[in-house]
Amino acid sequence: MTASGPRGRLLTTRRALLGMAGAAGSGLLRPARAAAMPAWRRPLAEADAIIGFGHTGPITDGGWSMVHDRGVQAVRRAFPKIRTIYVESVPYSADATRIFRQFVAEGAQMVFATSEYGDFIKDVSDRAPDVAFMECDGTNVTGNLGWYYVAHWYASYVIGIAAGLMTRTGKIGFLGAFPIPSVYASANATLLGAQSVNPSVTLQSITINAWFDPQAATQAATALADNGCDFLCGIMDEPAYLRVALQRGLKAAMWNTGMLDYGPEAYVSSVALDFNDFYISQVSNLLAGTWQPQGRFLTLGHGVDRDAWGPTVPVEVARQADAMRTRMLAGYNPFRGPIHDNHGRLRVPDGMTLSDLEIYHSDWAVAGVSGLE
């Protein structure tokens, strides 16, 4: 391990980290103390605080991990005496468990997993009750583990309106990493937004089994374009499919952050994420001894929003889409019945709406979606 200046300590190689993790497995994890107050319920001096971040990809990915790293940097600016440690490209395997254990062994009082790691992080949190854990896109809430996520479906719906108004073929192409709830939620919201202004629009999805695989994303985007999709969108951690859209004369909406520079003529907007205030608030609560394990959504205008419209988006398209955004900011929920799935089953009856938690746990595709099962 090497020091990395103002960025805090970087656990530089997974090989070195995993080699040290044996120590964690042999007693460095803090044992449970049934009667004692957890350490995270007691105030903590800034200079004594160590915060760990496990990133799912490289922080130079231009997308998801980069956005989370911006949050880490915001924490450092807000609390200059705090020490942060992080690991990039944490795998979805037992190696993740060893990495999270090592954060604990390093003395971290709070650990963030910036993607869903399920039992890999829960098992570590169960054995380290004095450490506060937060899992992005997680589902578990325990005595010292909570989750957080962006309610991105509202921004996706707004961008879907633009897609419905701009498509000429009536076919939206969607790139997803895995058939998981966050991907269902994004695809469904995009298509429902599009169908609200253009009922005949459909959405074709291809999943590539990776969040960060530019080659696979390029191949999938090319296949969607070959199949007549003239508007591309999805959840990827890099801009590969925007480049395909630019080359093919299509339009594209992105995810994570603004990506205008990668293809201005093709760029429509992006579901833009900002974890800065969230991370600062969580660390502030830890220092004050007021942190609590819970689930929390970052909502439209407060951690997630649409990026600025691209230069080729017609003014009237932007106006219609933003009219819905304004309604959403005032509390309107567009996910109202009747909504059928892509097998014809009524999922949301007339007069009913989907809650954020129901959307967050989506495991079905709306009518008009293909390729996502």
| Residues 63 and 195 occupy one common structural domain | no
Q: How far, CA to CA in Å, does 2 sit from each of 37, 77, 107, 190?
A: 34, 21, 16, 44
What's the rounded Cα separation, in Å, for the pair 373 and 368? 12
Q: Are residues 116 and 59 in the same domain?
A: yes
Same-domain check for residues 118 and 81:
yes
> Which of 101, 123, 149 delimits the end of a domain?
149
One domain, residues 244 and 142: no
User: What is the DSSP pairing of strand 132-136 with strand 145-150?
Assistant: parallel
Give 346: exposed, middle or buried? Use CB within 10 Å, 0-12, 13-18, 19+: exposed
Q: What is the pLDDT of residue 33?
A: 46
Number of domains in the chain: 2
pLDDT in tens, the chain (373 residues): 223 333 333 443 333 343 334 444 444 454 444 447 899 999 999 999 999 999 999 999 889 999 999 999 999 999 999 999 999 999 999 999 999 999 999 999 999 999 999 999 999 999 999 999 999 999 999 999 999 999 999 999 999 999 999 999 999 999 999 999 999 999 999 999 999 999 999 999 999 999 889 999 999 999 999 999 999 999 998 899 999 999 999 999 999 999 999 999 999 999 999 999 999 999 999 999 999 999 999 999 999 999 999 999 999 999 999 999 999 999 999 999 999 999 999 999 999 999 999 999 999 999 999 999 8
Using alpha carbons, list the distances in angstroms from residue 361 to 181, 183, 192: 5, 10, 17
Amino acid symbol at 183: V
Q: Which domain holds residue 311?
A: 153-272+303-370
Q: What is the CATH number of the domain that holds 53?
A: 3.40.50.2300
pLDDT at 82: 98
pLDDT, residue 62, reads 86
Q: Which residues are paired to 296 by β-bridges?
A: 148
pLDDT, position 37: 87
Q: Give the Cα separation of 129 and 106 in Å (integer).
A: 15
* 54 phi, psi to nearest 5 deg: -105, 110
Query: 140 with 262, same domain?
Result: no
Report the alpha-carbon distance of residue 169 to residue 248 in Å, rounded: 14
Domain boundary among 128, 149, 170: 149
